[in-house]
Every structure is written in structure tokens, then in C-alpha cells.
Structure 1
Amino acid sequence: MVVMAISVAGLDPSGGAGILGDIKTFSALGVYGAVAVTALTSQNVKRVSGVLPVPPDFVGEQIDLVMEDLPLVHGKTGMLYSEDIIRVVAEKIREYRLRMVVDPVMVAASGGRLSSEGFVDALKRYLLPEALIVTPNVAEAEKLSGVRISSVDDARRAARVIGDLCDVIITGGHLGGKNIILLDGEISILEGELIETSNTHGSGCSFSAAAAAYLSRGFDLHESLKMADAFVREAIRHGRYGTLNQFWSLEEKEKPD
């Protein structure tokens, strides 16, 4: 049986983030990846110079045609850009009963804006109630919760606020490697090594994609988050050119004895 997942996200032509990063992650974890493209961007690991959103109806049409052909259950969202795209994607998630990991992409790691006005309100109103879990970094969690986060305790409070809409993991790149997880009303901390490197472009995309991949392979949500965190840390550790290396495990196997 072929295991598969879908990424509904934007295109990063540098290949580090967005749907290309997601497909790399799916493939590295043995999952067949389908996509629906929400936006084209002109960017690299250092800067974003332009965004061209896909018409919302065409985003919906892509999802319809993929679902017509493939028995998908799990997937993830990345860059959605606008309220209209968010509404269409939320409708399709509900229509097809998809179990989706939501990466609330707002700003690129380089600082370029990847969302329009009204994005956060639309995300909270339409998409998060349909989500299996949302995976914000600290800056995104602040936007979603209204809580200023400068400590783990602050992150716990933010997770409680966001948890009124759906389960959440606040990823720990800015919390000393600590991920704050709220599942079914219970908070836990997933700790990991904080790797000092500049090869982090696309780490949020790959984390949410890895979580969706492990879910599609039959792991429960908490185990999928743990395994996704471990996968991304190794992809960062073996990264190059400013971004992750999702195929690090294959390269390790190919090394001569």
C-alpha cells in the first residue's frame, strides 16, 4: 500500500522551503507527496522579492482534482497568504475530512512577508477549527495568542489560548530547543538539542511535513511530533547552503565502510 500526504503551500524556487521542501521531507520518509500550490514566490534563503498568489478558486480546484484521484487522509498547509485562500482551503479540509497539520506561515525566515492583511484573524476563524494541530514558532504563536513570549511559562500561556481552537506545538527554535505541546488540554515539553548553524531555512515547513508524513504512516499525534522533531534536527545538523538536508540518512548509508 502506498502511503501518501498532501502539501497545500507556496513555491520557494530555491527549494529550501514551501512545497519543494515538503516533498523532499515526504520522500525522505517514504511518503508519496501530492501538492496544491497557493502562491509563487521569488526568494532564496536570504530574501523574498515578490509574491504572486494563486486565485483561490484554482487552489480549490487543485485540491479537488488531487482528491478525485488519490485516497488522501493526511497532509499539511504552509503558506496560504490571504483570507480568501484560507477560506477555500478550510472548506476543502472540511469537505474531504482531511487530518491536516497547519504551519501558520506569516513571514519568511529572511524577514520577507508571506501573508496579507487579515491573515491571522482568518486563520483563527476559518482554518484552525478544522486543523488537527497547528505548529507555530514563537513569533507566530505571539500573533495567534496575543501573548508576548519570552520564556517557557509564556509559551505555556500562549498554548492555552491557541488550544481553544485546536491542539498546538510551539516549536522551540527560540526557546532553547524546548517545544511546548498542548494535546487534548494537556501541556508537555519536548526537549531537544539546539543546533548552532545557519542551515535552518525551511525548518518549520519540514517539521510540519514530517509530522504529517508520520501520521500518514500510522503513528499517533504525539509520537509523530517527537519523530518529526528528531528528523528535522538531523536535517539541520547535516544541512548545507543555508537550508536543511532531508536526505541525510540516505547519504549516511552510502558512505563507504
Structure 2
Amino acid sequence: MQKHPCVLTIAGSDSGGGAGIQADLKTMAVLGGYGTSVITALTAQNGLGVTGIQAPDSEFVVQQLTTVLDGFPIAAAKTGMLFSAPIITGVADVLIKQDFPLVIDPVSVSTSGHALLQQDAVDALVERILPLATVVTPNKPEAEMLAGMKIETEGNVATAIKRILALGPKAVLLKGGHFDEADEELVDWLGLPGEAPLGLHHSRVVTKNTHGTGCTLSAAIATFLAHGFELKQSVKKAQVYLSICLRDSYTPGEGFGPPNHIAPFERK
């Protein structure tokens, strides 16, 4: 195992630096990975929201991906915003031939409510990408979209995870951040085939600086998998990392800030 294993992010660029490719690469570097990237879309955004999106041709996205894979021994990868059905199809055609762990963050809507996944891409995501996932990491709205149901109770959580597992991923991490915001404790539910969902409890961090939290968590999970940790360990270690970053978060510009990705260094 390399000292700094190569980790790949396939996602959109955030010009504000708090989410997407930028958040992923910061996370990977801080956690001891060598980050590589495939950019699926350019966004014009800041802490106030997304004002525009432009995506490259799917052929160029595939060219980025194959070039990275030809040049680096990728130990784990994650996907974020994949934007369109042609991009998803092209990426899936390449990833299906790989054997490294793959974390799928099924990004569909930004925190500010801007659509980040075209409608015709939802079916492609479900049919082509989810079956390749080592773990898929939906938040509550994304899980409701994938499972085709509302999630309000613990029983709903178990049913939704079972439905998402039926789509093909090896595991589901249903994140608890969008559930009752009055609760001091958060529960992320880890679901594996044939097992009851495992509740992973952690304290809620009260902050407005939550831009890019999903990107950060999925990138952290991928990086820990690249280091050789098993899935449950990787998820728990990623939770701890994200909590530290949120506790030391700040607002670098207008609107919502991101987690402070270098917080572990600042605490030493």
C-alpha cells in the first residue's frame, strides 16, 4: 500500500471552493490520500447559491477518466455530481471494468435548491451507477427519491434502505442531517444486505456552514477505504473527520461556508 494512496473523485467543480471537486481534493489531501479528479461540470457558485452550470461533452469526461486510470493506481474512488445521462453512461462503461471501492454520493439538488442532476439522468444513475457502488450515501431527500417513498420513522428508514439495496449497491449509508433538526444527536444508518440497519450515532454540530458536507463525507470514506480500512471503520472515521471540520467551520465569504477541511491540522 502506498503511503499516500491514489484516490479519484468524479464530480463537478465548485468555483466557491466549498463543495464538489475542491472539497474532495482538500479532504483527500488532509487524510493522507493523493487526490485525482475527473470534472463532470463547471458551476458558477458561491455561498449564496449556484448561478450557472456548464458541462463538457461526455466523450471528454470519459477521456479524463481513462487518462487518470492509465496513469495512476487508483485505490478507491467516489462520484458526486454526474449531471447528465450521457456522462453517467460513459463513466459507468469505464468503471464497470474496475475493481477498487467506489463511493457514490447521489448528488441531485444543491443545498440552495438548484438542480444538479438532469431529470433524464436519474434513471441512468439508478440503472448504471448504483449497481457499481461499494456504498451509496444519500441524504434524506435523495434516499426518498431513490426509494420512491417518504422517510419519517425508523421503520421507514429500514424499508427505504432495503429498497435502495435492491437497486444493486453493496451498502447504503442514509445520512441523518436532514431529519429532525431539534435533535442534539444525529444518526446515520448503515445498511447491508440481509442485516438490520446499523445506527451510527454522533452529536449534531450547530452551524450554518454546511456547504459541501456530503462531498466531504463521501470523499473521506473513499480515502479511508483507499488506506485499507473496511467499510464500517471508514464510515466512522469519516464521521469523526467531518464533525471536527464542522466544529471549526467558518464563513470565508458571503452566505453559507463549508466545513473547515484543515481543522485537524489547526487543532494540533
Shorter-normalised TM-score: what interval? over 0.9
Q: In structure 1, what is the equivalent of residue 119 of structure 2?
A: 117
8 Å contact kept, 2:173–2:189: yes
- 145, 148, 152: which one pairs with 1:146? 148
Q: In structure 2, what is the equivalent of residue 58 of structure 1?
A: 60
- 228, 238, 243: which one pairs with 2:248? 238
- CA distance in 2 between partners of 1:71 and 1:185 (Å): 33
- 172, 176, 190: which one pairs with 1:168? 172
The Cα shift of 1:144 comes to 0.4
- CA distance in 2 between partners of 1:151 and 1:5 (Å): 36
TM-score (norm 1): 0.96
Name the stretch that deviates more: 9-18 or 166-175. Answer: 166-175
The Cα shift of 1:60 comes to 0.6
- CA distance in 2 between partners of 1:160 and 1:183 (Å): 9
8 Å contact kept, 2:45–2:51: yes
Q: In structure 1, what is the equivalent of residue 254 of structure 2?
A: none
The Cα shift of 1:229 comes to 1.0
- CA distance in 2 between partners of 1:153 and 1:46 (Å): 36
The Cα shift of 1:160 comes to 0.7
8 Å contact kept, 1:163–1:185: no
Equivalence map 1:27-42=2 (5 Å)? 27-42=29-44
TM-score (norm 2): 0.92
Deviation >4 Å, runs of 4+:
none
2:187 matches 1:178 = yes
Specify the SS of the correspondent of 1:73.
strand
The Cα shift of 1:237 comes to 1.0
Equivalence map 1:51-90=2 (5 Å)? 51-90=53-92
2:264 matches 1:249 = yes
More helix as a share of residues: 1
Structure 2: segments with no counterpart, 5+ residues: 252-256
Specify the SS of the correspondent of 2:203.
coil
The Cα shift of 1:119 comes to 2.2
8 Å contact kept, 2:5–2:75: no
- CA distance in 1 between partners of 2:120 and 2:156 (Å): 25
- CA distance in 1 between partners of 2:43 and 2:189 (Å): 31
Q: Alpha-carbon deviations, 1:5-25, whole Å to 9, x = none?
A: 000000001000000000000
The Cα shift of 1:147 comes to 1.4
- CA distance in 2 between partners of 1:252 and 1:98 (Å): 32
Specify the SS of the correspondent of 2:119.
coil
- CA distance in 1 between partners of 2:172 and 2:48 (Å): 28
The residue type paired with residue 244 of structure 2 is E
CA RMSD of aligned residues (A): 1.1
How many residues are aligned here?
A: 253
Q: In structure 1, what is the equivalent of residue 237 of structure 2?
A: 227
% identity of equivalent residues:
38
The residue type paired with residue 251 of structure 1 is E
Q: In structure 1, what is the equivalent of residue 221 of structure 2?
A: 211
The Cα shift of 1:152 comes to 2.6
Name the stretch that deviates more: 153-162 or 92-101. Answer: 92-101
Name the stretch that deviates more: 84-93 or 135-144. Answer: 84-93
Structure 1: segments with no counterpart, 5+ residues: none
The Cα shift of 1:44 comes to 1.1
8 Å contact kept, 1:100–1:212: yes
8 Å contact kept, 2:92–2:129: yes
- CA distance in 1 between partners of 2:48 and 2:201 (Å): 28
The residue type paired with residue 14 of structure 1 is G
The Cα shift of 1:80 comes to 0.3
